[in-house]
Amino acid sequence: MTGKLGIIDLFSGCGGSALGFQQAGFPIKVAVDIDNNASESFKINFPNCKVFSSDISYISGKELLDAGGFRNGNEAILIACPPCQGFSSARRNSQRLSDPRNKLIYEFLRVVEEIRPLAFVLENVPGLATGIGKPLFIQILQKLSELGYQTIYDVVNTADYGVPQRRKRLVLLGTNNAKIRLTFPCKTNADPGTASDLPPWKSVREAIADLPKINAGEKSPTDPIHCSASLADINLQRLRFTPWDGGDRTSWPEDLVLECHKNADGHKDVYGRMRWDYPSPTMTGGCGMISKGRFGHPEQNRAISLREAARLQTFPDEFKFIGNFGEIARQIGNAVPPLLAKRAAESLQYSIDELEVSEKMHPNFYQEYPYSQENV
């Protein structure tokens, strides 16, 4: 069965999810994203994929199936990461509730209903399931159940799966084949501060320490995206006073402290440095700017480069990005870490393979013992 399955990627971005599924052995057939630069990046990395650089609401399920050469949805796996800023805990409730991107989750549901894929994997911010988006998430699960899909979901930390980054994400898996027993991928790494037999979390040092030194505003002569944003003199001074390996603004002299920080104890990640021997904080679309988070290099007086951000997201160096500095930073920060997607893909593939083996060995097993979620 697995050899016949192909991927349809909704809200595909530059291709983080697609890369992980491709690494797990699934062919990438169709992708859709409204961002032109992200779509160009996708095209250059997946030349055999049909890419729609378009609003998903104007594309029918039939068009997606036809574009991928699918006879029906049973030959397809749908992966999706609808824009999630509307459910992010980093925004005010008034902004989150009114964000029009919240409605894009319904486009995912529409495509599931029109295509009826064998399985799907949806990734999003935890707030969709546990925060302000929970009522909507309950509706989504109910609708999926009505469409005949069994589902499992969890909020995971990407660092537990080998990504050198602390990033909590909601992962939802589903299938309309009741014989497939969905499982989550096993964790591969653990917080070094806990008792565990697993290897410790991957660190910033492991991901980026081998890259050549560059200054703020410079680009490596051998790697076009090992480049760092220019900094104003006052921000360079601030970084010089920020201790290496995890320092923050609390070490600045009074004359360098921003007015908005003088009477505030929070937001200490802003202008802070990453720690060498710990995973990075969550990459965002502003990951190339020290004013957007703890995106300072552990010891060099600059923000991390685009290459460093890409590595912290587990993009291999051969992956290509199209766009200017800000556009590439946004593509990297908004992407699903490919390694997390690969772990999910491998788990899904294992579940499908397990079914095939069981049916070959015990062809009447599921007729005698039908699968029921209530019995799990």
The residues annotated with a catalytic role in the active site are 84
What is d(CA 365, CA 213) in angstroms, rounded to the nearest whole number? 60
What is d(CA 22, CA 15) in angstroms, rounded to the nearest whole number? 10
Query: Do 28 and 22 contact (CB within 8 A), yes or no?
Result: yes
Residue 29: what residue type?
Answer: K
Beta strand 50-52 pairing with 28-32: parallel
Query: Do 111 and 56 contact (CB within 8 A), yes or no?
Result: yes
Report in angstroms the alpha-carbon separations of 33 from 14, 61, 70, 203, 322.
9, 15, 20, 31, 14
Structure tokens at 350: 């294992």
Query: Do 265 and 258 contact (CB within 8 A), yes or no?
Result: no
| Residue of 89, 91, 85 whose CA lies nearest to 105 | 85
What is d(CA 266, CA 262) in angstroms, rounded to the nearest whole number? 11
Alpha carbon 126 to chain centroid, angstroms: 12
R_g over Cα of the chain: 22
What is d(CA 30, CA 46) in angstroms, rounded to the nearest whole number? 10
Q: Any idea what the Cα angle at residue 102 is, between residues 68 and 112, rounded to 5°?
A: 30
